[in-house]
Amino acid sequence: MKPNLPACRPGRWPGCPVTARAYKKNARTALRECAILALTATALHAAQPAPPGTLGPETDELFRAGRVLFDIFAPAEVKAQYDFPTKEKWDALVAKFQGALEGDSVADLADCAREGRQALDALRLVPGYEDLADWLEQRIDSFEGARQTLPPPQPPPKRPGPPPPAVFQPVPHYQLWLARVQSRPAPARAATLMPRLRAAFAAEGVPPELAWIAEAESSLNPAARSPVGAKGLFQFMPDTAKALGLSTFLPDDRTDPEKSAHAAARYLRQLHGRFGNWALVLAAYNAGEGRVSRTLAQQKATTYTAIAEKLPAETRMYVPKVCALIATRAGVIPERIAPPGRLPKN
């Protein structure tokens, strides 16, 4: 079937399929659509297969029809830059369509999806090809369905660069603690103490949201003390406090908000340098860095999640609780807590 189309410019005759928009398309796109249009008409004769090893008696006639379509639709600037496909290329493309339609390969079928969709758009412009276009539409549905069954293409390998930052692994029981603390009001002292604590953490290059550890440790009570000797907002034991440069007797610096906050931030920074992610840092802050190091070695692990069940029960509750408090009070979810930054210049 040949389209009865006079050569024209857009809108020159009633019902002319050549719209101004189609006429002004990018030159490469116009050529491709003209070629694919005739190519598809040829390829779709696979519905009436030719003898093995041949492309069918209609191929030469439809090849000539394709040239006619190219002469009619292609703007002058296209013809000046591009040639209509050679007979060899034409036959190769026809064979591709026929092979996909008759073959067993889903990948080959999927490979026709893009060209098939372009061909349908072009075919809809040509009077007399409506039935073929309707038939093609269902074939394209198969082409595109086949494409969806294929795994997505793998991205190209990235260039080697600096190692990525440590990933904050999922924390067991985090969602449980998030639900528990979201409805709790912050302690009454938060309004006056937290700006001071956050400023101290920032001055030490530690994310200021981590200052909310003080709520989990002491309910933001600077005088809080435990039966085993821990004291202050951050519940330092005497030996730890002394190692961080705090006095523990007359005066006891652990009860000083600014001094204890600076010490806590320095300690957290030190722990991050050793363990590399905040979940392990919080575990070490609660259970002791020696306990966490030994457990990592025993389990041949590198993440908190991998060793959580081997840590003390209190620690397994402490880590998700602190993460939930930070998310609720500061709006920073665990994986968004930044690593320590550069220390501000004095």
Quote the pLDDT of residue 150.
75
Residue 170 clears pLDDT 70, i.e. is over it: yes
Higher pLDDT, 133 or 298: 298
Alpha-carbon span 130 to 124, nearest angstrom: 7
Model's pTM, two decimal places?
0.53
Quote the pLDDT of residue 77.
67
**Cα distances (Å, whole numbers) of residue 311 to 194, 214, 237, 319, 320:** 30, 21, 20, 11, 13
Quote the pLDDT of residue 13.
41
Higher pLDDT, 298 or 120: 298
Quote the pLDDT of residue 12.
41
Among 344, 2, 48, 35, which Cα is nearest to 206's?
344
Quote the pLDDT of residue 345.
62
Residue 22 clears pLDDT 60, i.e. is over it: no
Q: How far is CA 279 from the centre of its chain?
A: 23
Share of the chain above pLDDT 90, in %: 46
Residue 346 clears pLDDT 80, i.e. is over it: no
Alpha-carbon span 22 to 217, nearest angstrom: 70
Least confident of 75-89, 96-110, 231-245: 75-89
When pLDDT is averaged across residues 119-143 and rounded to a whole number, the result is 63
141 — pLDDT class (breaks 50, 70, 90) = low
Residue 260 clears pLDDT 60, i.e. is over it: yes
Q: Kindly give, in sequence order, each residue whose CB lies less than 8 Å from that of residue 62, ignoring residues fewer than 6 positions away.
A: 38, 41, 42, 45
When pLDDT is averaged across residues 96-101 and rounded to a whole number, the result is 74
Would you state the structure tokens that stand for residue 241, as one six-digit string?
């406090």
Q: Are 177 and 324 in contact (CB under 8 A)?
A: yes
Residue 223 clears pLDDT 80, i.e. is over it: yes
Least confident of 106-115, 248-257, 298-307: 106-115
Quote the pLDDT of residue 193.
97
Residues of the chain with CATH 1.10.530.10: 174-336
Least confident of 51-60, 72-81, 105-114: 51-60
- HEC string of the chain? CCCCCCCCCCCCCCCCCCCHHHHCCCHHHHHHHHHHHHHHHHHHHHHCCCCCCCCCCCHHHHHHHHHHHHHHHCCHHHHHHCCCCCHHHHHHHHHHHHHHHHCCCHHHHHCCHHHHHHHHHHHCCCCCCHHHHHHHHHHHHHHHHHHHHCCCCCCCCCCCCCCCCCCCCCCCCHHHHHHHHCCCCCCCCHHHHHHHHHHHHHHCCCCHHHHHHHHHHHCCCCCCECCCCCECCCCECHHHHHHCCCCECCCEHHHCHHHHHHHHHHHHHHHHHHHCCHHHHHHHHHHCHHHHHHHHHHHCCCCHHHHHHHCCHHHHHHHHHHHHHHHHHHCCCHHHCCCCCCCCCC
Share of the chain above pLDDT 70, in %: 61
CATH number of 174-336: 1.10.530.10
Look over the chain and give the mean of its residue pLDDT values, rounded to a whole number.
77
Least confident of 2-16, 32-46, 255-269, 306-320: 2-16
Residue 8 clears pLDDT 80, i.e. is over it: no
Least confident of 49-63, 182-196, 202-216, 235-249: 49-63
Among 286, 327, 326, which Cα is nearest to 304's?
286
Please report where in the chains the tokens 């439809």 appear, as a residue. Answer: 62
279 — pLDDT class (breaks 50, 70, 90) = very high
Beta pairing partners, 248: 252
